[in-house]
Amino acid sequence: MSSFYGVELKSRLLLGTSRYPSPAVLERAVKASGAEVVTVSLRRESGTGRAGQAFWSLIQSMGVRVLPNTAGCHSVKEAVTTAHMARELFDTPWIKLEVIGEADTLQPDVFGLVEAARILSEEGFEVFPYTTEDLVVAERLVEAGCRVLMPWGAPIGSARGLNNVYGLRSMRAHFPEIPLVVDAGLGVPSHAAAAMELGYDAVLLNTAVAEAGDPVEMARAFALGVEAGRAAYLARPMEPRDMAVPSTPVIGKAALGD
């Protein structure tokens, strides 16, 4: 069971809600994934609009917890304003904070991210920052009030998996008490399993499920990958070796003469 800002969750898979072929497919995928938390981007259209209301009603009917995000924000002011709107609309202090700094990779602007995190934390938000695996940035985010860190695995929507395993492993070792979530870049269930084998508390993904040939089956597959990776981590895997070690005992082996 994982815990984020005092909320305990059975599922370690957080799922995004955009880019699905239809609302019905989204609903079935969320159910198949077992996810208890879904991310929702605050659209710039009115929250009372008919399309927005229908989507919000669908999310509410799923019985999941909503993690609004500031997707598409490129400045501190834009991210903070969007967070305020999200809190009012979705009635939650949770916010997935994105401050994008580079258009091609969608890499976070870590300077703006820390500033926005500090402002929002002081205003009572419970911030889930989308960040890099940089330990200095992570320290600044924790100092700013973040009690969860969400380093990327790879650029959003790239499906490249874990680009910097060393960095992610170092972050886990450096912050043993902070819940860590690999967010972005995962493409297949084995990527999620690898993240969980590093000791991460959860993974967050969207595109890999939404754009799969069968989103519902892919959601189910990711749920199994997360479960397998967590079980493997708890089982304490053996360390890699440089030399072969026979799996069959040689003691008692018959000695044959020439």
Q: Write out pLDDT tens, residues 183-215.
A: 999 999 999 999 999 999 999 999 999 999 999
Catalytic residue selected from 10, 31, 77, 96: 96
3-class state of residue 2 by DSSP: strand
Provide the Cα torsion 27, 28, 33, 38; round to 10°: -10
Question: Tokens 């479960």, residue?
Answer: 227
Q: Mean per-residue pLDDT for 9-33?
A: 95
Q: Which two tokens stand for residue 220?
A: 């189910």
Q: Mean per-residue pLDDT for 21-50?
A: 82
Query: What pLDDT does residue 127 have?
Result: 98
Of the pLDDT bands very low, low, confident and very high (cuts 50, 70, 90), residue 50 is low
- pTM (predicted TM-score): 0.90
Query: What pLDDT does residue 160 have?
Result: 96
Question: Tokens 């990327």, residue?
Answer: 152
- φ and ψ at 150, to 5 degrees? -130, 80
Q: Is the predicted pLDDT of residue 257 greater than 70, yes or no? A: no
Query: What pLDDT does residue 256 have?
Result: 66
Q: Is the predicted pLDDT of residue 53 greater than 80, yes or no? A: no
Q: Please give the angle made by the CA atoms of 157, 161 and 163, to the nearest 5 degrees.
A: 105
Query: What pLDDT does residue 247 have?
Result: 80
As to burial, measured by CB atoms within 10 angstroms (0-12 exposed, 13-18 middle, 19+ buried), residue 238 is: exposed
**Any catalytic annotation for residue 96?**
yes
**Closest to 149 measured CA to CA, from 170, 166, 122:** 170
Kind and range of the H or E element at 37? Answer: strand 37-41
Query: What pLDDT does residue 11 have?
Result: 96
**Closest to 154 measured CA to CA, from 169, 137, 168:** 168
Mean confidence (pLDDT) of the chain: 92
Of the pLDDT bands very low, low, confident and very high (cuts 50, 70, 90), residue 46 is very low
Query: What pLDDT does residue 7 have?
Result: 95
Distance CA 58, CA 65 (A): 12
Q: Mean per-residue pLDDT for 29-53?
A: 76
Of the pLDDT bands very low, low, confident and very high (cuts 50, 70, 90), residue 249 is confident
Q: Bin 19: left if φ > 0, else alpha if -120 < ψ < 50, else beta.
A: left
Query: What pLDDT does residue 186 have?
Result: 97
Instruction: Give the residue with greater pLDDT, 1 vs 165.
Output: 165
Instruction: Give the residue with greater pLDDT, 159 vs 59.
Output: 159
3-class state of residue 251 by DSSP: coil
Distance CA 98, CA 180 (A): 16
Distance CA 238, CA 254 (A): 30
- What sign has the CA pseudo-torsion 71, 158, 197, 16? positive
Distance CA 131, CA 150 (A): 6
Of the pLDDT bands very low, low, confident and very high (cuts 50, 70, 90), residue 171 is very high
Query: What pLDDT does residue 45 have?
Result: 41
Any idea which of 58-67, 142-151, 197-206 has the lowest mean pLDDT? Answer: 58-67
